[in-house]
Structure 1
Amino acid sequence: MKKGIFLLSIITLAFATSCTDQENLNSEINTVKNAIVINNNQTQLNQRLDLTNSGVISIINPSTRKNLVTESEQFPLTQIAEFNAPKDSQGRSLQANHVAVNGNYAYVAYTLQGNEYSGAIDMIDVSDPYLPKLVMSALIADTDITSLVYTNGKLVIGGATNSDKNAAIQSPAIVMYMELTSSGALTNNYSTNDISSFAATDVTANSSNYFAVSGDTGSLYKFDNTTKQILGSKAIEDLRSVAVINDKIVTLSGTKGINIYNTLNLELVKSFSTWKDVVQGAKRTIDFIGDKLFVSEGYQGLGVYNMTSGTKIQTIALIPTATTEPDDVVTNAVSVNGDYVFVANGGNGLNVYKSSDQLALIGTVGINGSSNYVKTSGNYIYVASGKGGLKIIKMEKPVTTPSINCSGLPVYNGGQELNINSGQTVGYSGSTAINKANINASFTHCGAISIQNDVNINSGGIFKMYGTLSQGKYQQANPTRFTVNGELQIQGSVVIWGDLVMNSGAKISFLGNDSSITVYGKVTKNSGVTITGKYTGTNL
C-alpha cells in the first residue's frame, strides 16, 4: 500500500512474552515473535562493523575543505566506527534516521525508502571508548521506525506500519512501547497505539508521560507511562518534531512553525515562527540551550529563537560547496552538547558551532558522505549518513591525571604542525587537535590530544603523555606512522590507528597501573627496544 493519511483509531495490543537477559544477549539465534526478528548472533552482527574511515578526523573550513587553525585546535575528534545499515528479510537496505541514548547504549532507528514499509532497531554498546559493539538488531516487518526515545527502562518508538496487513490498525501512524531487559536489551514485549495520520514523526518523554507527534493531518499526543493510554491530544498539521523542556512541550510543524504547550493539560502557551518547509514530511529536529531554541529549517538553514519572547535571534543560511548538489544542501537535524551545537546539513556535512550570544562557526567535521541526522550524548556524536548506516565519532575530552607535571600548563594554540626543537622543554594541557608532530626534545601533554597524521619522536626526544592520545588513520594506502626513536611515556590511553615503529634504542614507559595502548596497524619492533611498566591492550 502507499504511505498516506488515515483517520484516528486507537487500539492497544499487549504481548506478554518475556525473555531473560541471558536469552537476549548470549543465545546466538534469531528470535521471531510478533513480526519482530531479534538477532544477537555476534558473528553476523560483527560483519556490519566498518572501520574503513576510522581514526583521527579534523575540523575543516566548510568552503575550502582544508584544516582550520582556529578553535578547532582545541576540538580533537576520532571516528571510532561506522555500522552499515541492516537489510530486511527481503534483502532491502534500510536507512538510519534516529538515535536514542541510555548510558553506554545507543539505539538506532531504521526505515525503508519508498512506499513500502520495513524497519529495524540496532542496539550498540559504546562502553569500550574505541571499539563499539553492535550487540543486537531487531527487524520489524512492514513497519518503518521513524524515531525513538529511552525512558524508565523502556523504548518509546514512533513509526508507520502497513495497515493493509493488520486489520486492527486503521491508520499507518503508530507508537510502540517496548519493554527492555534489566541490562537494556531489546525484547518482544511491547504494546502499540494506532494514532492519526500516515506516520508518527517523533517521540519524547519525561518521568511521567511520553509524547508523540504525527505528520500531515496529525496531532500531538500525551500518553501515560504506566497504562500506555492516550491522555490527551492537540490537532495540528504537518508535525515534524517534539521535545520536552521542564514543564513545556515544544512542537515543530512544517506549516505552523513552533507551538509550546503545557505538559499538564496540553494547553497552548505560545506560538511563533513563520517558517514553512517546502519539502513535505522531511525529517527535522529541535534542541535547546537555556532559553534558546535551535530549529533545523530545511533549505533555509538553522533558525535560533528565544523561547520566552518568540523572537528569531539568528539565521544560519546554507551555501552549497562547489562539489555539492544544491538540492542536497539542507539542514536536517540539530543536536546540542554542552556549549557546542552540531548541525546536520546533508551534502554540506556536519557543522559545529560554539554557543554564546550568537552561534559562532568552528567548522565542518571532516567525514565522508552526507549528514542526514545527528545526535550527541556524552563524549559521542552519532551521524546518520545518506543510504549508509551510522557513524560514531568520539570527542576527545580531557581526563584528570594525577601527575604533578601537569600543573600550570597552558592550552595549545601553535598551529596544525607541532615541532619541538632540540633544547626545548614544552608542555600543554586541555584538548589539542593537530595534524602532525615532530619531537626532538622534551614535550609534555596533559589531557586529550589527537594527531591526524605522522608522529616522530626522534633520538633525544621524549613525549610525556598524560591522559588520552588518538593518532593516525585506519588502513590507509600509505599508512600513517607513529615512529619512536627516543622515548614515549604513557599514563592513560593511547590508540594508534596506523602503524607503530619502534627503532633501535626506542623506549616506551607505562606509568601507573591502568595505562593502555591499542595499535590497529602493524607493529615493528627493532633490536634494543625497551618497554617497561604495566599496561593492557596491544602486545608490544
Structure 2
Amino acid sequence: MKGLKRTVLLMVFGFFVIGISSCSLLSNDDGKSYFQSVNNDLESLNQRVQIINNDIVLDSLKSKFSSTSSTLGGDKFTHIANVESPEVNGKKLSATSIEIRANKVYISYHLNGSEYAGAVDIIDINDEENPKIISSLISEDTDINALEIEENAKILWITGGRDVGSSGYSLQGHGGAILGEKEIEKGVFKTGSGSYREIPLPSFSGNDIVDFAQDLYVVSGATGGGFYQLNKGNLSITKRVDNNFAKSIDRRQDDVIGLNLLADKRANFTIMDFKSDAITTFQTPFAVTPVDGKNVLEHTAAITYVALGNRGVKGYKFSTSADTPVYEFNAHGADVANGVTVDGKYVYIANGTDGLFITTLPRDGKTEPEEVYSWKSNSTNTASANFVKTNGQYIILANGVDGLNILKISGS
C-alpha cells in the first residue's frame, strides 16, 4: 500500500499559541457546584459486580493450532468478573476509558445522547478472584470521556464535557469541554471541599488525556479542538496545536503523538517533539469511518498502534525509513475497531459488537498477525466493546452501557 504522507514543521513551536491560561480555576470551596458526589460504601457499590472465575474459550479466526482453545501462546485466559455500569438519575451510563495502576483499575463513564452525566469507578483487583469497587465519583451534569492517574495514584484527571449553557465559563473559544482534577486519599476519592478543581477547554468535548513529566496533554474536539499542553501546577494551557476532530494522544519516548481526522476523513498523526521543538505530521492515504467513532491510539515498544474504525488496527513506527504499517489487522466483522492495547505478547482490540480480538505481535517482517482469536462474554450479548486496556496480567474490556469484563492472563 502507499505510505503515509509526511510533513515536518520546524517552527520552534511558533505553531503553538498560548490560550485560555487566564481563565480562573474553580474548586469546591468557591461557591460553584459541580453536582458531584462520592460513594465509598462497599456494600452498595459491589451490588454491580458479578464474580465469574471461569476459564474462557477463545475462538480462532486464524491459527496454526486448534480452532478453539482456552490458551494462547502458553497463556490461560480467565473471565474473572463483570461490572455493571452505574446509573445517574435512573439512566445507565456507558463505560468510556480505563487505566490500570498497581492493583487498581480506574474506569470512566458518560451518558449517551444529548444529556450529560458521568462517573469514575475505582476497582481493587488485589484479590485476583474477588475484585471489588471501592470508590465511585458521580457527576450529574458532566460526561467523563477519559481519565488519567498520577503515578503515585493520588490524583485523578478527567476530561469530558457538559452543556455549555451551564458550564459557568466564558463562551469565547469554549463549547463545554472541561478538564478536572480530583484528589485520591488512601486509595479512594477524597470528600469535602477543595478536593476538586477544573478548567474549561476549547471546543465541545474532552476526548483523551496523558500525564507526561510536569505537564498534562489533553485532546478536545470536534470543531475548534486540538491538542493542549497544560501545566499540572495551575492547570493553565501553555501550548496548543489546533486540529479539528482530535481523537487521542499518548507519550512517545521524549515526545507525544496525537490523532485527528482531516476534512476528507483521512487519519492525521501529529508528533510534538519538545526536545527539538519540531512538529511532524503523517497522513494516511485512506479515509476512516465513522468520523464520530472512538479512535484510540497507544504507543508501545517503538510502535504506535491505532484503532481506525472501518480500517481496523494498524501499527506505525513513523520513521523516515518506514512510514508504512508494521502491523495490520482488520476483522471485517459486523462492527469496527474502537480501541487497542498491547502487552509484551499480544495486541488486544475492542471491536464493537464483535467483542474482543486478540492477535500476536508483528514478527519476522510480516505486518499481519500469525494468530487471531476472538472472545465475547455470553452474559453481554448486546455489548459493544469500545475500549480495552491491559497491564500484561489483566485485560479490562469496556462494553459501553453493558459495563466491563475483567479478564486475567496466567501461564498455563
SS at match of 2:285: coil
2:234 is equivalent to residue 227 of structure 1: yes
Per-residue deviation, residues 404-443 of structure 1 (Å, max 9, x unmatched): xxxxxxxxxxxxxxxxxxxxxxxxxxx32xxxxxxxxxxx
2:183 is equivalent to residue 179 of structure 1: yes
Structural RMSD (CA): 2.5
Cα offset, 1:120, TM superposition = 0.5
In structure 2, C-alpha distance between the alignment counterparts of 1:33 and 1:107, rounded to whole Å: 24
Percent identity (aligned): 25
2:318 is equivalent to residue 317 of structure 1: no
Q: Is the 8 A contact 1:12 1:192 kept in 2?
A: no
Listed as ranges, the matches of 1:345-384 within 5 Å are 345-357=351-363, 358=367, 359-368=369-378, 369-384=383-398
User: Which residue does 1:13 correspond to in 2?
Assistant: 25
Cα offset, 1:286, TM superposition = 1.0
Q: Which amino acid counterpart does residue 140 of structure 1 have in structure 2?
A: S
- Of residues 294, 305, 309 in structure 1, which corresponds to 2:305? 294
Change (3 A) 1:367 1:74: farther
In structure 2, C-alpha distance between the alignment counterparts of 1:212 and 1:123, rounded to whole Å: 22
Q: Which amino acid counterpart does residue 192 of structure 1 have in structure 2?
A: E
Structure 1 gaps, min length 5: 1-7, 18-31, 321-325, 397-430, 433-540
User: Which residue does 1:154 correspond to in 2?
Assistant: 155
Listed as ranges, the matches of 1:449-528 within 5 Å are none
- The higher relative CO (CA closer than 8 Å, separation ≥ 6) is in 2
Cα offset, 1:182, TM superposition = 4.4
User: Which residue does 2:246 correspond to in 1?
Assistant: 239
In structure 2, C-alpha distance between the alignment counterparts of 1:137 and 1:169, rounded to whole Å: 30
SS at match of 1:360: coil
Q: Is the 8 A contact 1:285 1:296 kept in 2?
A: yes
User: Which residue does 2:106 correspond to in 1?
Assistant: 107
Change (3 A) 1:266 1:190: farther
In structure 1, C-alpha distance between the alignment counterparts of 2:134 and 2:277, rounded to whole Å: 38
In structure 2, C-alpha distance between the alignment counterparts of 1:127 and 1:192, rounded to whole Å: 31
SS at match of 1:46: helix
Cα offset, 1:265, TM superposition = 8.2
Q: Which amino acid counterpart does residue 105 of structure 2 have in structure 1?
A: A
In structure 2, C-alpha distance between the alignment counterparts of 1:317 and 1:230, rounded to whole Å: 37
Q: Is the 8 A contact 1:298 1:331 kept in 2?
A: yes
2:219 is equivalent to residue 213 of structure 1: yes
User: Which residue does 2:139 correspond to in 1?
Assistant: 140
- Of residues 394, 399, 404 in structure 2, which corresponds to 1:390? 404
In structure 2, C-alpha distance between the alignment counterparts of 1:360 and 1:70, rounded to whole Å: 18
Change (3 A) 1:301 1:190: same
| Larger-Rg structure | 1
Per-residue deviation, residues 123-142 of structure 1 (Å, max 9, x unmatched): 11111111100011111121
User: Which residue does 2:280 correspond to in 1?
Assistant: 269
In structure 2, C-alpha distance between the alignment counterparts of 1:373 and 1:148, rounded to whole Å: 12
Cα offset, 1:390, TM superposition = 1.1
Cα offset, 1:229, TM superposition = 1.3
Q: Is the 8 A contact 2:24 2:199 kept in 1?
A: yes
Q: Is the 8 A contact 2:70 2:77 kept in 1?
A: no
Change (3 A) 1:273 1:262: same
In structure 1, C-alpha distance between the alignment counterparts of 2:248 and 2:340, rounded to whole Å: 11
In structure 1, C-alpha distance between the alignment counterparts of 2:228 and 2:387, rounded to whole Å: 24
Change (3 A) 1:34 1:113: closer
Cα offset, 1:287, TM superposition = 1.6
In structure 2, C-alpha distance between the alignment counterparts of 1:299 and 1:33, rounded to whole Å: 41
Per-residue deviation, residues 15-67 of structure 1 (Å, max 9, x unmatched): 266xxxxxxxxxxxxxx97421111122211211123x541112212489x95
In structure 2, C-alpha distance between the alignment counterparts of 1:257 and 1:346, rounded to whole Å: 23
Per-residue deviation, residues 465-507 of structure 1 (Å, max 9, x unmatched): xxxxxxxxxxxxxxxxxxxxxxxxxxxxxxxxxxxxxxxxxxx
Q: Which amino acid counterpart does residue 162 of structure 1 have in structure 2?
A: D
User: Which residue does 1:451 correspond to in 2?
Assistant: none
Q: Which amino acid counterpart does residue 145 of structure 1 have in structure 2?
A: I
Q: Which amino acid counterpart does residue 361 of structure 1 have in structure 2?
A: E
2:44 is equivalent to residue 44 of structure 1: yes
Cα offset, 1:151, TM superposition = 1.7
In structure 2, C-alpha distance between the alignment counterparts of 1:223 and 1:264, rounded to whole Å: 17
Q: Which amino acid counterpart does residue 396 of structure 2 have in structure 1?
A: Y
In structure 1, C-alpha distance between the alignment counterparts of 2:85 and 2:277, rounded to whole Å: 37
User: Which residue does 1:68 correspond to in 2?
Assistant: 68
User: Which residue does 1:304 correspond to in 2?
Assistant: 315
Q: Which amino acid counterpart does residue 370 of structure 2 have in structure 1?
A: A
Per-residue deviation, residues 168-203 of structure 1 (Å, max 9, x unmatched): 253211111222224353556122121111101110
User: Which residue does 2:5 correspond to in 1?
Assistant: none
Tell me the TM-score normalized by structure 2. Answer: 0.82
SS at match of 1:370: coil
Q: Which amino acid counterpart does residue 130 of structure 1 have in structure 2?
A: E
In structure 2, C-alpha distance between the alignment counterparts of 1:128 and 1:269, rounded to whole Å: 44
In structure 2, C-alpha distance between the alignment counterparts of 1:333 and 1:221, rounded to whole Å: 22
Q: Is the 8 A contact 2:62 2:370 kept in 1?
A: no
Q: Is the 8 A contact 2:26 2:199 kept in 1?
A: no
Cα offset, 1:146, TM superposition = 0.3
SS at match of 2:145: strand
Cα offset, 1:306, TM superposition = 2.1
In structure 1, C-alpha distance between the alignment counterparts of 2:73 and 2:228, rounded to whole Å: 45
In structure 1, C-alpha distance between the alignment counterparts of 2:287 and 2:161, rounded to whole Å: 23
Change (3 A) 1:293 1:37: same
In structure 1, C-alpha distance between the alignment counterparts of 2:390 and 2:301, rounded to whole Å: 17
Q: Which amino acid counterpart does residue 339 of structure 1 have in structure 2?
A: K
Listed as ranges, the matches of 1:326-337 within 5 Å are 326=334, 329-337=335-343
